[in-house]
Amino acid sequence: MDTLNGKRGTVHVCKDAAELGLQCARSFVDSVTETVGKTGQCTVALSGGHTPHLMYEHLLSSDFGKRAPWDKVHFFIGDERCVAVDSPENNFNNARDQFLNRLNIPASHLHPTYNQDKDPAASALSYEKTVKQFFGLKDGEFPRFDLIHLGMGPDGHCASLFPESKALTEGKRIVTENFVEKLSSWRITLTFPTINHASNVMFMVQGEDKSEVLAEVLESDVVSYPAQHIVLEQGKLQWFIDRAAARDMCSAPSNR
């Protein structure tokens, strides 16, 4: 794995998807273990999409993963599709199937959204209340998640902060509903202020289909994509990518 200090955080370039999954898992466990060691617990917002599955098997079956203090972790979701809880499109449900259900941790440590398929606005308000209560926040305060895991779409979106969508300009809400025109669907998402208030944000980006936009996101001074708005106030931002996703980056060692 090559590591470089980019303009948008530390970038780890893995040789392929397999190494990407392993290295992400290592970093994920390091972050959880360090946080639990310091505070006795860890708050994590998981990513949706397909890429996280590359990491989950390592979290569950590696020696380092088996040693992690999972029973001290509270799991939230960074964004949710407004579909039924048992839909194959439901992000938290996929995280349960691929990872959470195999950890044997208390149900009270799992924090999914509710009724997102029935009423996105009410579901977003309810999730925001859940987060505010869990973190003990006053109005106007933002939660400081210990770790937020994010993917990036080929259009440079992260969580459900899609280009040209209303949520991009949300500066007060912790969580908001967001209608995504091109998908003709509603989403629930953490907002930029919430993500940028986190202690650690870990992007995981795999595949050639993202390489052109990823090069722009990581190397251009021009801010054109939602993922470029992830600028932590006081936290560690890391990008874990594979060589396929790094293909168009000038700074990637494998391209020099």
The binding site for ligand 6PG (CB under 6 A) comprises 47-51, 79, 81, 91, 151-153, 157-160
Contact between 203 and 150 under an 8 Å Cβ cutoff? The reply is yes
Token couple for 215: 């090069």
Q: How far is the CB of 4 from ligand 6PG (least distance, A)?
A: 22
Tell me which residue of 210, 198, 197 sits closest to 241, measured CA to CA. Answer: 210
Q: Which is nearer to ligand 6PG, 34 or 57 (CB)?
A: 57
Token couple for 222: 């021009």
Q: How far is the CB of 175 from ligand 6PG (least distance, A)?
A: 14
Q: How far is the CB of 255 from ligand 6PG (least distance, A)?
A: 22
Q: Which residues contact 13 (CB under 8 A, 6 or more apart)?
A: 1, 2, 3, 4, 241, 242, 243, 246, 252, 253, 254
**CA atoms of 71 and 63, how far apart (whole Å):** 16
Contact between 2 and 252 under an 8 Å Cβ cutoff? The reply is yes
Q: Which is nearer to ligand 6PG, 26 or 149 (CB)?
A: 149
Q: Which is nearer to ligand 6PG, 51 or 178 (CB)?
A: 51
Token couple for 144: 């400081």
Q: How far is the CB of 138 from ligand 6PG (least distance, A)?
A: 28
Q: Which is nearer to ligand 6PG, 36 or 156 (CB)?
A: 156
Q: How far is the CB of 57 from ligand 6PG (least distance, A)?
A: 15
Q: How far is the CB of 225 from ligand 6PG (least distance, A)?
A: 12
Q: How far is the CB of 32 from ligand 6PG (least distance, A)?
A: 20
Q: Which is nearer to ligand 6PG, 29 or 150 (CB)?
A: 150
Q: Which is nearer to ligand 6PG, 13 or 180 (CB)?
A: 180
Q: Which is nearer to ligand 6PG, 43 or 47 (CB)?
A: 47
